[in-house]
Structure 1
Amino acid sequence: MAAGDLITRDGQLEWRGELLGAGTAYGWRALEGWLDLPQMRGGDVDRPGQHGAFPGQLLAQSRTVTYSFVISARRATRAQYAAAVARLRAITTPSENPDEEPLVIRLDGRRWQALARCTRRSMPTGLEYDVGYVAGALQWVATDPRLLELPGFTASTMLGATDSGGLGFPVRFPMPFGAAARGGVITWTNTGTAEAWPVWRIAGPVRGPSITRRDTGQALEFDPDWFIPTGQVVEVDTLARTVLFVGSNVSASDRLFTRGWFSFPPGRETQAVFASAAPSSDSRLSVTVHSTAM
């Protein structure tokens, strides 16, 4: 089961295979940091001897998400109340060296995921706890502030083929010139609010592959003499800036000659073109990408 598959309605969270929020033992009180813009860090440089500053790069910092909840024995038996408390403690206890894990929340009919670590659990144990009531909070920190919509978009294409060009006789107008391309294009619209960074997979056999964003001309171009054999797949992660053979994690970054890293901008259709230095009928380009929000 994939992350987020347990969620069935708005106002629910999924963490480590447990549902929180609407319709669960962990009633929703408040959610902070999910729709908020994370804190920003700026690179502005003061203008010497003048008012103001030179604008520098503006980047988002880590995202902190706080979920306030209620566990109440009024809606369950005392045994169920104790079990709910124990379960929440179990799923929020860190391992010795915790990795970031999927935190998925559904709002307004859409599921969004952040990779995060649970950094705080507040469960007061005063008189209210003794009578079966806890008003507490959980907090997560996601080092990547982007929210990725689930499910992601996947698609693939073969290398583009061209029809034969030239003129036919008798000549008729308008006259066709050049060749018409078929295939080799992946088209997608990012319905989020932030740039979406794809993961590409190039399956051999192919020589000198390239991936180009059609509207800007930005391109990822490999050595035209480099050959990916049949059965080999190279993964290009545009956010991590890595180029690896799938299955072995051997880097092929030195073969990427042109590093025009590109994303899918929000709110409009974008096309990516798959080409190569030599024709191949069996090579395939695949993509996995998520609509992204900030």
Structure 2
Amino acid sequence: MTAGDLITADGQLEWRGALLGSATPFRLTKLEGWLDLTEMRGDDYDRPSRHGMYPGASLMGKRVVTFSFLVKGVPLAQFQSMVDWMRALTAPVEQPVEQPLVIRLGGQSWMTMARCKGRTLNVDKYYALGYTTGAIRWEATDPRLYSPAEHVLTTPLASPATTGLKFPVQAPFDFGTGPTGGFLTATNTGSVASWPTLQIDGPVTGPVITNHATGERLAFDPTVPITAGQSLVLDTDQRAVTLNGGNASNLLLTRGWFPLLPGTATRLDFTASSYDPAALLTCRWRDAAA
């Protein structure tokens, strides 16, 4: 099951395989931090002996999402079990692992990876009657919101062109065929840059991935082969390179990391030191918003 599959209506949230919000016992009363721009961090610095500052980097901080709810209309005999269920759902885990939080508003579902950092369940004079209010707070170290669906495109290396005209020339003319493959075009339909995961499956020697528009390159040692059955994975967001799960950062000689810019079709060219029809480049990404 993909994160967000349980959601069927606006105002619903999915967390740890559970549905909250509209049409559930935990009804949404307020949602904070989801559509907001997060606090920005940067390093503007003073203009010496002048008014104002010079602009430095302006980067998003973590995203904090608070879901306020009320529990109403639950049979009194089931009320305490619903409260216990909520406490278990939001209980901390031993390892600091972020999990998918998906929310749908205005017909659009977006996802972030977050950890539950707070829960309130208010106890007042109406609690004994099966009525309470509360809130859940999540924090996401990556502030971007992503499409729940992951996009996947693949391309082999460009096949060599077939032989064209042979002399002496005689009709009908055979111009041959040009190379096929060797590139893919990924489009991020969100509003902020999205950093893709790139996977190269062997056999291939000296693979190179190039951003066609900017010339930025991710180039590997041209003498080191990636054999059949091996997979080289580049996490462009984390700047991590692994070969069959082990660290292979030393093989990456040119580190021209690049994202998929919003609203732009980004062409990625796939080349190598030698041609093998079984070599394959796979690009995985999600649309990203803020």
Please state whether the residue corresponding to 1:81 is helix, strand or coil.
helix
* Per-residue deviation, 1:108: 2.4
Contact 1:165-1:180 within 8 A present in 2 as well: no
Q: Structure 2 length as normaliser, TM-score?
A: 0.93
Structure 2 CA distance, aligned partners of 1:210 and 1:284? 12
Aligned counterpart, 1:24? 24
* Residues 139-198 of structure 1: CA deviation (Å, up to 9, x unaligned): 001011011111110121111114247657479xxxx8x983311221121111110100
Structure 1 CA distance, aligned partners of 2:165 and 2:214? 31
Residue 24 of structure 1 aligns with an amino acid whose one-letter code is T
Q: How does 1:1-294 map to 2 (within 5 A)?
A: 1-72=1-72, 75-164=73-162, 169=169, 180-246=178-244, 249-294=245-290
Contact 2:75-2:130 within 8 A present in 1 as well: no
* Residues 78-116 of structure 1: CA deviation (Å, up to 9, x unaligned): 122222211111111102333111111112222211111
* Residues 187-241 of structure 1: CA deviation (Å, up to 9, x unaligned): 1211111101000111010000011111111111111111000111111000000
% identical aligned pairs = 44
Contact 1:192-1:293 within 8 A present in 2 as well: yes
Structure 2 CA distance, aligned partners of 1:267 and 1:196? 11
Deviates more, 1:103-112 or 1:279-288: 103-112
Structure 2 CA distance, aligned partners of 1:159 and 1:146? 32
- Structure 2 alignment gaps of length 5 or more: none
Deviates more, 1:7-16 or 1:227-236: 7-16
Deviates more, 1:90-99 or 1:42-51: 90-99
Please state whether the residue corresponding to 1:161 is helix, strand or coil.
coil
Structure 2 CA distance, aligned partners of 1:267 and 1:120? 35
Structure 2 CA distance, aligned partners of 1:154 and 1:18? 27
Residue 23 of structure 2 aligns with an amino acid whose one-letter code is G
Contact 2:216-2:256 within 8 A present in 1 as well: yes
Contact 1:162-1:179 within 8 A present in 2 as well: no
What count of residue pairs does the alignment treat as equivalent? Answer: 286
Contact 1:199-1:289 within 8 A present in 2 as well: yes
Sort the Cα spacing of 1:128 and 1:83 in 2 relative to 1 into closer, same or farther, 3 A: same
Q: Structure 1 length as normaliser, TM-score?
A: 0.92
Residue 84 of structure 2 aligns with an amino acid whose one-letter code is A
Please state whether the residue corresponding to 2:250 is helix, strand or coil.
helix
Structure 1 CA distance, aligned partners of 2:94 and 2:149? 30
